[in-house]
Structure 1
Amino acid sequence: MRVLVTRPEEAARKTAAKIAALGHHAVILPLMAAEHHPQAALDALRQPHAAVAVTSAETARVLQTLGGEVHPYLQDTVFAVGDATADALRATGFASVQAAEGTGASMVERFRPQLRQMTSQRPLLYLAGQPRSPVFEEDLEAAGIPVTTVVSYTMRPVPITKAALSSALETPPVDVVLLYSRATALRFFELPLSDESLIVLSRSRILCLSENIAQAVPKALESTVETAASPVEDSLLALL
């Protein structure tokens, strides 16, 4: 099968290797690219905090760019949204990383006893991305957990020409489209899709990492949508 991967370039290459190992062909079409804000992350780490929360492996890549400047904080307790993010943080050098089940809600539930130890003087530091789902921060607020949110990276749209889009989707037609974030899904369906591309999509499978992402797919294509059993990549690729 031909599988369209819409992730940012670095993550897309890793996903493509997994797809190849499954015997399929990956077509990489990054729709977003991360603009890193390492100084903002470093300034935040220098402020008093009791623990750090991270909901994307992209934040780990931001921290990696800091080199030795991040070393004083590698013993901090870090709460990661899932195993992939936790692995990226450990690869960066963080020694005390705990993983939830892939969602912000699961982070609050799993780490609730530790999160209740946060204070206004030493809050939870959330190194976030933009745009992002509000669920994690809303759940923290509902639980009365003090949090300081700092944007460590911003996802920016990658310019895509109509010719490049048609080439990726149509020659030959893709069988599967992978969508990993709501922002990417919204971006994908805002692109100038040709009539032929729309026909290809109507005959393909659109695989979404979560129900929130699936809801961004147009109604006309909802019959093609499948959602991963859990919001982790292995679960998504299992649908192949």
Structure 2
Amino acid sequence: MTRATECGTALRVWVARPLPAGARTAGRVGALGHRPLLAPVLDLALSGAPAPEGPFDALILTSASAVPALAGSRLAALPAYCVGTRTAEAARAAGLGPVHEAGGDALALAELIGRDLPRGARLVHAAGRERKDEPGDTLAARGYRLTAWIAYAARPLPALPAPVAEALDDDGLDAALHYSRRSAATALGLARAAGREEPFRRLAHHCLSADVAAPLVAAGIVSHVVAARPDEETLLAGLRPIRQDSDAEASPALRPGRERC
């Protein structure tokens, strides 16, 4: 029996993460004794854009979603600098490499590259269409030559998934997991458009990082917490309810809402 079921704190958790990663996360949520509702709000697809010619000295990966686009490409043999553990694992499984892993955020990735590669090195960033400014801005400011390759795109669903709408109507969800800023913003927007913003706001929103939580913060959603480290282990370990009278929303780490043991 898992700790969640032992303590009577099994939660119904909305996993809004895109496939295929969302299915893996839902499995982990279930293994912890919670009840996952897998309903992505973004549809990931390869862009079909050809890989740039180069030559390049290294590859930058800030999401595992870019890895499938690299299969069979001339970039697959480059040293791959990955933002965190999950991206690095996907890169290794695909035979990329050698693979170098940063501490889970874009600035840590820029620091790792700065230690390993000389200024002026030619880098290619395999990214999504809505990529963030980092680590590109920092690397460019330090004299690295960066080429962005749009390897995949995340397309928002046209409407809130029906199982989520029904669960929100029936008070059948306790928490939501957010792994990207875009996903969190899309989930909020779809809930709002479907007339379910109020029940959405009452969920315990567990966010991988402060950047991921930013759209929720901007909307004034206080029932959110941010993982102390930007990795899935830490995020899932913090799956607990949030007391409405607690200060969890202001915490830089995941804090328990209540224990029933």
- Larger fraction in helix: 1
Identity of aligned residues (%): 30
Q: Does 1:174 align with 2:173?
A: yes
Aligned-residue offset at 1:222:
3.0
**Higher RCO (CA-CA < 8 Å; seq separation 6+):** 1
Distance in 2 between residues matched to 1:180 and 1:81, nearest whole Å: 14
Counterpart for residue 127 of structure 1:
126
1:85-120 deviation line (CA, Å, top 9, x unaligned): 01101111113001001111001112213232544x
1:57 paired residue among 54, 61, 64: 64
Maintained 8 Å contact 2:22/2:40: yes
Task: Indicate how the Cα distance of structure 1 residues 174 and 126 shifts in structure 2: closer, same or farther if over 3 A, else same.
Answer: same
Q: Can you give the 5+ residue segments of structure 2 that lack an aligned partner in the other structure?
A: 1-10, 240-261
Distance change >3 Å, CA 237–CA 57, structure 1 → 2: same
Deviation of 1:129 after TM superposition, in Å, equals 1.1
* Cross-structure match for 1:29: 39
Query: Where does residue 154 of structure 1 map in the other structure?
Result: 153
Q: Distance in 1 between matches of 2:191 and 2:204?
A: 20
Q: 1:219 to 1:57 in 2, by over 3 A?
A: closer
Q: Deviations over 1:208-230 (max 9, x none)?
A: 11111212105565320100111
Structure 1: tracts of 5 or more residues without a match: none
- CA distance 1:101–1:25, shift in 2 (3 Å): same
What TM-score do you get using the length of structure 1 for normalisation? 0.86
**How much does 1:153 deviate?**
0.8
User: What is aligned with 2:86?
Assistant: 84
Instruction: Give the number of aligned pairs.
Output: 228
2:206 alignment partner, SS class: strand
Task: Give distance in 1, aligned partners of 2:218 and 2:99.
Answer: 40
Q: Deviation of residue 83 (structure 1)?
A: 1.0
Any conservation in 1 of the 2:160–2:187 contact (CA below 8 Å)? Answer: no
Structure 1 residues 183 and 50 mapped into 2: Cα distance closer, same or farther (>3 Å)? same
Residue 140 in 1 paired to residue 139 in 2? Answer: yes
Provide closer, same or farther for how the CA distance between residues 219 and 97 of structure 1 changes in structure 2, counting only shifts above 3 A.
closer
Q: 1:172 to 1:58 in 2, by over 3 A?
A: same
The answer to whether structure 1 residue 3 and structure 2 residue 5 are counterparts is no
Misfit runs of 4+, over 6 Å? none
Provide closer, same or farther for how the CA distance between residues 118 and 51 of structure 1 changes in structure 2, counting only shifts above 3 A. Answer: farther
- The answer on whether the counterparts of 1:75 and 1:94 sit within 8 Å (CA) in structure 2 is yes
Deviates more, 1:80-89 or 1:140-149: 140-149
SS in structure 2 opposite 1:215?
A: helix
Kept in 1, the 8 Å contact 2:70–2:76? The answer is no
Opposite residue 23 of structure 1, the aligned amino acid is G
Please name the residue that 1:20 is paired with. 30
Q: Is the 8 A contact 1:4 1:26 kept in 2?
A: yes
